Amino acid sequence: MLTACTVAISLPSSATSLGVRHEYKSHTEQHATQIKMGDSIGNFYFSGELKFKGADGDFMKDLKNNGWELDLGYRYKVDGTNWTIQPGMPIEGRESGMTYKPQLRATYEFESVAGLNVSARYRYDIKTYSTGESTELRHRLTANVNYAYADWGFGFEGNYYNADGYKLYNNTEEDYELNLTARRVIGSWAPYVEFGDVSTNPERSRVGVTYSF
């Protein structure tokens, strides 16, 4: 998913950002919200995220903890090329257990079309359970196309999932997710909207805003 919005546009030069995002899944009528803060030191980046939702999925009603996520990574610009390589390790915690997500992303910036870049990512999800259930393993392939023009940014993301020995969707070990995002930078603020097609939740919408320090 666009856990951090992948639309790449020019934000203020400071590396620190704070974001809030709200999500609604029309298929299940479920609401969820996250607060995320990120920073970087040189090529290293890191972020922390808190998630919460209503006890019955209602909008901002009887809020309860819905997990957290810590993301650590490194951006390496390949000298003399338009490529950036980005290894990372998001770690997600929920009441049911932990998920470790080692990943590697490669991004290419086009010189012929200003503001256009494409990227591909491989992620290996390792989901453990606090109850002692068997660990679940899942492969995830992600492709992104991002375009920035002036203060606007637009992004498309496609995800393909393949589970290792358990069912994901429609009695198969496969699943998918598609997302479209639009964002605009207004000073230090960057509001955005996202619309997703997520297998069993074909109409997922998100709205959020990021503030850069």
Residue 18 lies in a domain: no
Count how many domains the chain has: 1
Domain that holds residue 44: 32-212
What was the pLDDT predicted at 71? 98
Tell me what the pLDDT averaged over the chain comes to. Answer: 90
pLDDT tens track for 106-135: 999 999 999 999 999 999 999 999 998 899
How is residue 188 annotated by DSSP? Answer: T
State the CATH number of the domain containing residue 128: 2.40.160.40
Residue 206 lies in a domain: yes
pLDDT at residue 54 tops 50: yes
For the entire predicted model, the pTM comes to 0.88
CA distance 100 to 65: 19
Residue 66 lies in a domain: yes
What was the pLDDT predicted at 200? 62
CA distance 30 to 96: 19
pLDDT tens track for 155-188: 999 999 999 989 998 889 999 999 999 999 999 9
Residue 119 lies in a domain: yes
CA distance 163 to 154: 30
Assigned token pair, 78: 């390949």
Q: Are the C-beta atoms of 143 and 157 separated by less than 8 Å?
A: yes
